[in-house]
Amino acid sequence: MQLVVLTGFLGSGKTTALLSFARELSSTGAKVAIIVNEIGDVGIDNLLLKQLGANMWELLGGCICCTLVADLGTTLSKIAADYAPDYVFLEPSGASNPGRIPDALIYSKDLQLTRISWLAIVDPLRLDELVSVLEPLMESHLRVADIAVITKKDEATPEQIDAARKWIASLRPEIPCIAVDMKSEGGRASLRELLPCLN
Amino acid sequence: MSQLTLDPFAAKVYWHREGDGPDEIWPELTRTFIESIAKKVQSHKAVIGHIKGFASSGDHALRVNCVSATRPADVEGNLPPATPEMMLDMVVLAYGLAWDDAKSAVETAIEEAGKVHNCHGRLQASRHGHSHTHDHQ
């Protein structure tokens, strides 16, 4: 069982990316489970995923980096035992500090993960504004990443995409970085090209 | 360095139509409503994280996302034509916005959007969320 963690600030496009990846992998016959964490006790993404019939588990009313850290561990164990998926996609709340997520795994009894992949989702439209007021949090999403995905390519200017690439490269020059419009077939094709990176 | 606190505001808004109007009223009402909230949040000098909502009826669903007061809200989907009521689950996630201020912004936005689209909205807010604090510059 592989764990794929999508990090990124609130509203950066994590759920849309997660859905694209999950659909692509499901179409190849892989069993995919999704864990959604929302900071409020009423979730929204979980309602969408339920509507779409996803195999989804919810962690609501806190962050998996702090108040729900034990719940994440036990949820992973339960998913492994009850569903035995090939992939578990985890979408932490956009307010989470992802660097603390590995601590949750100590609560997963006998969990055998073949790999943990980390994708950082970056919104180029608000990057300047958010880095100026929440720099430590914004950087924390990127510090753990294996791959950076710049979203909203259709809405951003070339300058905004370039600035996002430079910011990513300044912190993590060694990781691959792609810019996508996830609403277009071209963007979804770009995400498909990333799938081998998860294996 | 100081700190910014995120105090989630979650609610259900029960909308119903008052009188006649276009069949497909819900996406436009939702857009007006959420964009109005975003403007009010910005007026508090808060940092908008995500304002989002979801409503469904049978196989139909409507989803709204807003991350800025200066860009249009993204509304996808719709409810079945001529649906008389909509229950919208929503959250306002904004750094530096107190829960009471979020509630006030949503209440005012319900009134404003209701007037524009000839609808009535009733707010049912929930206050059991988890606040989160981050260092900022």
pLDDT digits (tens, 9 = 90+) for A138-183: 999 999 999 999 999 999 999 999 999 999 999 999 999 999 988 7
User: What is the reported pLDDT for A198?
Assistant: 67
Structure tokens at B101: 């201020």
> Do the domain assignments include residue B135?
no
Nearest chain B Cα distance for residue A173, angstroms: 24
Q: Which of A16, A39, A47, A91 to mutate to test the interface with B (most CBs of B within 10 A)?
A: A39
> Do the domain assignments include residue B133?
no
User: What is the reported pLDDT for A64?
Assistant: 78
Give the closest of A62, A126, A155 to B130, CB-based.
A62
Go through chain A and tell me how many residues it has. Answer: 199
- Decide if A123 and B128 are in contact by the 8 Å CB cutoff: no
Q: How confident is the model at residue B132 (pLDDT cuts 50, 70, 90)?
A: low
| CA gyration radius, chain A | 16
> Do the domain assignments include residue B132?
no
What is the four-CA torsion angle of A95, B129, A37, A161, rounded to 10 degrees? -30
Three-class secondary structure of residue A61 per DSSP: coil
User: What is the reported pLDDT for A133?
Assistant: 92
Question: d(Cα A36, Cα B53) in Å, to the nearest integer?
Answer: 16
Nearest chain A Cα distance for residue B128, angstroms: 6
Number of domains composing chain B: 1
What phi and psi, each to the nearest 5 degrees, are found at residue B84? -80, -20
Go through chain B and tell me how many residues it has. Answer: 137
Contact A149, A142 (CB under 8 A): no
Residues of chain B contacting A65 with CB distance shorter than 8 Å: none
User: What letter does residue B80 receive in the DSSP assignment?
Assistant: P
Q: Does B98 touch chain A (CB under 8 A)?
A: no
Q: Which of A56, A62, A80, A71 is nearest to A104 (CA)?
A: A71
User: What is the reported pLDDT for B55?
Assistant: 96
Q: Which of A12, A42, A63 to mutate to test the interface with B (most CBs of B within 10 A)?
A: A42
Closest chain A residue by Cα to residue B128 = A41
What average pLDDT score do residues B77-91 get? 93
Nearest chain A Cα distance for residue B52, angstroms: 7
Contact A95, A12 (CB under 8 A): no
> Do the domain assignments include residue B84?
yes
Residues of chain B contacting A37 with CB distance shorter than 8 Å: none
- Percentage of residues in chain B having pLDDT higher than 90: 77
* Structural domain boundaries enclosing B56: 2-127
Report the complex ipTM. Answer: 0.87
User: What is the reported pLDDT for B137?
Assistant: 42
Q: How many CB atoms lie within 10 A of CB A100?
A: 16
Low-confidence ranges of chain A (pLDDT < 70): 109, 198-199
CA dihedral over A185, A191, A194, A198, signed as positive or negative = negative
pTM as predicted: 0.89
Q: Does A5 touch chain B (CB under 8 A)?
A: no
User: What is the reported pLDDT for B127?
Assistant: 74
Give the closest of A10, A51, A155 to B56, CB-based.
A51
Q: State pLDDT tens for residues B14-64.
A: 999 987 777 789 999 999 999 999 999 999 999 999 999 999 998 899 999
Q: How confident is the model at residue B128 (pLDDT cuts 50, 70, 90)?
A: low
Give the closest of B52, B134, B137 to A44, CB-based.
B52
Contact A32, A61 (CB under 8 A): no
User: What is the reported pLDDT for B136?
Assistant: 46
Q: What kind of architecture, by CATH, is found in domain A2-198?
A: 3-Layer(aba) Sandwich (3.40)
> Do the domain assignments include residue B55?
yes
User: What is the reported pLDDT for B82?
Assistant: 83
Question: d(Cα A170, Cα A155) in Å, to the nearest integer?
Answer: 23
